[in-house]
Amino acid sequence: EADIYQTPRYLVIGTGKKITLECSQTMGHDKMYWYQQDPGMELHLIHYSYGVNSTEKGDLSSESTVSRIRTEHFPLTLESARPSHTSQYLCASRGGGSGANVLTFGAGSRLTVL
Amino acid sequence: GQQVMQIPQYQHVQEGEDFTTYCNSSTTLSNIQWYKQRPGGHPVFLIQLVKSGEVKKQKRLTFQFGEAKKNSSLHITATQTTDVGTYFCAGNTGGFKTIFGAGTRLFVKA
């Protein structure tokens, strides 16, 4: 069973609100990722991190920001949510060794902005 | 930038029929992975292919990695309703980023 947790699972908020989506993993993985996915559609990489204090923007431009102060924690923040931010946000991590390229995903946070 | 194309976008099959999805990369890959996402769920790792020409099997699923390491396929023999979901290929070129194909959504009619 995956040891990566996302909260909240579902969130409905109004336009202009600030939100933070939490992601934590207990596997000690250095690399963590945020993907954005509309229902039934492809996954778009929006942020990733090599390790503590490292963050990079992904291939899809996003108004969100991330931080990596601790290895196990990789939160994503939207300062002012808009309806265009409505989507599912998937957090993933990647370890080393024989499974170095394998992504383990959390259950996702489904965000609806009214 | 690196792109991973996946076809078909959708596939409807009758239970018991076979299914294949294809993945093509614009650049040579160091490895490719396949993931399955059930409706309403999150992607779950199925398998990784690393070697040129590699073929791996998992029960009714057969995965292939092309000789040039730029394409891959997933074949399901005799589909079952439990196979329903979206199948994604995902490639790495040796860096930290994993690039996903758009996915193939499989519908199985009982």
- Cα–Cα distance measured from residue A69 to residue B3, given in angstroms and rounded to the nearest whole number: 31
pLDDT level of residue B93 (50, 70, 90 thresholds): confident
Quick one: pLDDT at residue A101? 83
| Residue A93 · residue A72 · CB < 8 Å | no
- A29-38, A96-105, B79-88: segment of lowest average pLDDT: A96-105
Name which of A6, A34, A42 to mutate to probe chain B: the one with the most chain B Cβ atoms within 10 A of its Cβ.
A42
- Cα–Cα distance measured from residue B100 to residue B4, given in angstroms and rounded to the nearest whole number: 6
Q: How many CB atoms are located within 10 Å of the residue B97 CB? A: 17
The total number of residues shown for chain A amounts to: 114
Query: In angstroms, what CA-CA distances link A26 with A3, A50, B74?
Result: 6, 16, 31
- Cα–Cα distance measured from residue A23 to residue A45, given in angstroms and rounded to the nearest whole number: 15
Quick one: pLDDT at residue A7? 97
pLDDT level of residue A100 (50, 70, 90 thresholds): confident
Q: Give me the residue from A35, A59, A104 closest to B1, CB to CB.
A: A59
- Cα–Cα distance measured from residue A5 to residue A24, given in angstroms and rounded to the nearest whole number: 5
Quick one: pLDDT at residue B1? 65
Quick one: pLDDT at residue A99? 67
Q: Can you read off the two tokens belonging to residue B83?
A: 């196979």
The total number of residues shown for chain B amounts to: 110
Parallel, antiparallel, or unpaired for β B71-76 and A109-113? unpaired
The whole-angstrom distance between B49's CA and the closest CA on chain A is 10
Q: For residue range B5-62, what is the model confidence (pLDDT) as tens digits?
A: 999 999 999 999 999 999 999 999 999 999 999 998 999 999 999 999 999 999 999 9
- Cα–Cα distance measured from residue B106 to residue B20, given in angstroms and rounded to the nearest whole number: 10
Q: Can you read off the two tokens belonging to residue A11?
A: 């969130």
Interchain proximity A50–B103, CB inside 8 Å: no
Coil/strand/helix, residue A51:
strand
CA nearest to A89 within chain B: B42
Residues of B in contact with A106 (CB under 8 A): 42
Residue B86: DSSP 8-state = E
Query: In angstroms, what CA-CA distances link B102 with A22, A64, A85, B20?
Result: 26, 22, 20, 15
Q: For residue range A63-74, what is the model confidence (pLDDT) as tens digits?
A: 899 999 999 999
Q: For residue range A74-85, what is the model confidence (pLDDT) as tens digits?
A: 999 999 999 999
- Cα–Cα distance measured from residue A82 to residue A18, given in angstroms and rounded to the nearest whole number: 10
